[in-house]
Amino acid sequence: MKVLVTVKEVAAVEDEFEIDGTAIDEAYLEYDLNEWDDYAIEEGVQISESEDDVEVVSVTIGPERSEETIRMALAKGADRAVRVWDDSLEDAEMLDVEAKTNLLAAVVEEEEPDLVLSGVQADDDGFGATGVSLADEVGFEWAAVVNDLELDVEGGVASVRRELEGGVEELTDVDLPAVLTIQTGINEPRYASLRGIRQAQRKEIKPMTLDDLGLSADVAESDLEIVDMYEPETESDATLFEGSPDETAGQLAEVLRDGGVGQ
Amino acid sequence: MSDVLAVAEHRRGELRDVSYELVTVGSEVADATGGDLHLAVISGDVDAHAEALNLEGVDAIHTVDHGEEFNHDVYAQVVEQVYDAVDPQVLLTPNSVNGLDYGPAVANALDLTYVSDAVGVEFDGSTLTATREMYSGKVETTTEVEAESVAVSIRSAEWPATETAGDASIEAFDATVDEDAVKSTVKGFEEVGGGDVDITEADVLVSVGRGIEEEENLDLVRDLADALDATLSSSRPIVDNGWLPKNRQVGQSGKVVTPDFYIAIGISGAVQHVAGMKGAENIVAINTDPNAPIYDIADYGIVDDLFEVVPALIEEFEG
Ligand SMILES: Cc1cc2nc3c(=O)[nH]c(=O)nc-3n(C[C@H](O)[C@H](O)[C@H](O)COP(=O)(O)OP(=O)(O)OC[C@H]3O[C@@H](n4cnc5c(N)ncnc54)[C@H](O)[C@@H]3O)c2cc1C
Ligand SMILES: Nc1ncnc2c1ncn2[C@@H]1O[C@H](COP(=O)(O)O)[C@@H](O)[C@H]1O
């Protein structure tokens, strides 16, 4: 069986930052593996550890810099990786859900996995949509916001729990092949071991261009355009205490005592 | 003139609040161009739900009586058929967990541009302008969709609910559900997060987030909770890490709390967290990042290192 795990390198913004036009100034961005995808990788690797003959392939759409992220997936136990990139993607202002769907669908057609694991959402531009959209495109079943998974490989069924709002979980069976969007907390993602990191150096990261995938450059065209980016106007009328920790703690303590706390 | 189709949400017999909020957004968008607002009510007690959603601004309600609970394969098929019949320019879905489970599939199938988690929507008949957050709420963006047809999922609790009664037409929609294409079975529901402590009962909550860094450091906030005679709660990552049980989690998928004082320590204030605590009487934030969204809803704040402030605060009450 083959498990394809989609991973994204996401950008986090430093505490203080500047906006340059309709994007954050590159100097204030730090890149990391998307939190949700870390759990998806772990889930894939755990499946390969508990079932026979499972290959875990990780795929990312991203520039060269994102090799670091995909290496992390390899170091944690993915067998090999695919990195999709192209000059025409470089020029695209944003990769929307449709573009990512079509790119990943081409990889799914190439790899023919039985199971695709993606994250619930990307932490930076967070569409929360790519996995379910991909499922529709490739004709797979799916389940969104999965926090528990049991696979019956023989029977071709994934029994999942979907985490709904308010502490309610939905128990659902979905037929394979399927795309599951993985929620944090489903497992405990491992840290890459030194051995894993060494092994990852020898694992394959296959570069794929639009040409390789049989796609044309207009796959990256988007009907979405970000025309403005700004810091949200704060509705805050918070009283901010200033001074040394002793001073601020003292002022807060007064407010708390006035409110009857700790009396 | 452009019509809008919005899809209502219910679970275990109850309409969810976001359904009433969808009516508000939907009628705003439809009114802007003199179009009609259509609602789709799918599965469950559709007659009762349609009656409840017969609200001001709604022109037509299409009911599809098929099964009790949400099933994404049924929803995907039915929404596509209602969409084809109504032929709207804008499709609105909730950005709820179930909304995430069919919205993107429907948008892809119908070839609609998908804009998710909007907190603001404007439409002039040709261009739809959505306000969205990025980078965990640190910035907002204005996104324009130059599309004939667009699907927008809306964030809950951003629009007021419509409550005034209306006079919509209510009709059963003749949908054909291909059972062979239903490849998922919802077997049931389970409540999680029970146990010894009920954080919803607490008057004072000391709540800890990822800023605490290590499990060992939890003792620090435990000491504070003891000193204040408060109950300990947390944001999601603390529970995901297994450092505290699920019944301590505040937020969308945890508990909704309304204490007199909610002291958020090393919590950024992500929307799914805020959904669980914005109703607190007094919100106190201790966070090194002055731009953290938690400060937007805080009443009191200390922009400083929790490892310095919390010991000083314990000292105040115990010293
Ligand atoms: C479907 C779904 C459901 C979710 N449900 C929930 C839910 O129920 N509850 C929930 O909480 N989340 C939920 N989340 C997750 C949510 O999106 C956030 O990821 C989460 O709330 C972040 O938790 P945090 O604030 O503790 O961590 P972070 O966002 O990482 O914030 C940590 C904060 O600590 C501050 N900090 C760091 N060091 C220090 C220091 N030394 N002193 C002071 N401050 C410091 C940082 O400035 C930062 O603001 C859900 C997400 C999804 C997609
Ligand atoms: N550029 C990308 N490359 C690979 N996978 C991606 C990419 N963007 C999104 N995904 C996957 O889709 C999930 C949801 O992303 P999004 O729909 O953008 O919130 C992520 O957690 C990833 O698993």
Picking from B150, B181, B212, the residue at the C-terminal end of a domain is B181
Domain holding A75, by residue range, is 2-220
For residue A175, the chain B residues in CB contact (below 8 A) are: 183-184
Q: How far is the CA of B210 from the centre of ligand 1 (A)?
A: 6
The answer to whether residues B175 and B207 belong to one domain is no
- What whole-number distance in Å separates Cα of residue B153 and Cα of residue A135? 18
Domain for residue A129, yes or no?
A: yes
Q: How many CB atoms lie within 10 A of CB B154?
A: 27
The answer to whether residues B135 and B258 belong to one domain is no
Domain for residue A254, yes or no?
A: no
Q: Which of B266, B270, B296 is nearest to B283 (CA)?
A: B296
Q: Which of A28, A197, A177 is nearest to A117 (CA)?
A: A177
pLDDT of residue B22: 98
- What whole-number distance in Å separates Cα of residue A124 and Cα of residue B251? 20
State the total domains in chain A: 1
The answer to whether residues B170 and B214 belong to one domain is no
The answer to whether residues B152 and B259 belong to one domain is no
Q: How far is the CA of A35 from the centre of ligand 2 (A)?
A: 11
pLDDT of residue A78: 98
pTM over 0.95: yes
Cβ–ligand 2 distance for A43 under 6 Å, the answer no
Q: How far is the CA of A15 from the centre of ligand 1 (A)?
A: 14
Nearest protein Cα to ligand 2, atom 9: A8
Domain for residue A88, yes or no?
A: yes
- CA-nearest residue to B292 within chain A is A15
* Nearest-by-Cβ selection for B229 from A129, A259, A262: A262
Cβ–ligand 1 distance for B96 under 6 Å, the answer no
* Nearest-by-Cβ selection for B240 from A135, A184, A259: A184
Domain holding B147, by residue range, is 4-181
Positions in chain B short of pLDDT 70: 1, 147
pLDDT of residue B1: 65
Nearest protein Cα to ligand 1, atom 2: B272
Q: Does A175 touch chain B (CB under 8 A)?
A: yes
Domain for residue B194, yes or no?
A: no
Ligand 2 pocket test, pick from A35, A70, A100, A107 with the greatest ligand atom count within 8 Å of Cβ, gives A100
* Nearest-by-Cβ selection for B239 from A172, A185, A262: A185
State the total domains in chain B: 2
The answer to whether residues B163 and B220 belong to one domain is no
The answer to whether residues B85 and B141 belong to one domain is yes
The verdict on ipTM greater than 0.85 is yes
Structure tokens that stand for B4 in this block: 């809008």
pLDDT of residue A224: 93
Q: Does A96 touch chain B (CB under 8 A)?
A: yes
B106 Cβ partners below 8 Å, 6+ apart?
A136, B75, B76, B79, B80, B83, B91, B93, B112, B151
Domain for residue A113, yes or no?
A: yes
Q: What is the CATH number of the domain that holds B137?
A: 3.40.50.620
pLDDT of residue A237: 86
Which listed ligand is nearest to A14 at the C-alpha?
Answer: 1
pLDDT of residue B193: 85
Q: Helix B218-228 to helix B306-318 angle, to the nearest 10 degrees?
A: 30
Nearest protein Cα to ligand 1, atom 23: B235
The answer to whether residues B35 and B89 belong to one domain is yes
- What whole-number distance in Å separates Cα of residue A119 and Cα of residue B165? 40
Cβ–ligand 1 distance for B292 under 6 Å, the answer yes
B228 and A256 Cβ atoms separated by less than 8 Å: yes
Determine the 3-state secondary structure of B14 from DSSP. Answer: strand
What is the tens place of the pLDDT at every residue in B155-168?
A: 999 999 999 999 99
> Per-residue pLDDT for chain A (263 aa), expressed as one digit of tens each?
999 999 999 999 999 999 999 999 999 999 999 999 999 999 999 999 999 999 999 999 999 999 999 999 999 999 999 999 999 998 887 899 999 999 999 999 999 999 999 999 999 988 999 999 999 999 999 999 999 999 999 999 999 999 999 999 999 999 999 999 999 999 999 999 999 999 999 999 999 999 999 999 999 999 999 999 999 887 778 999 999 999 999 999 999 999 999 87
A83 and A67 Cβ atoms separated by less than 8 Å: yes
The answer to whether residues B77 and B209 belong to one domain is no
Name the minimum distance, in Å, from the CA of B240 to any CA of chain A: 4
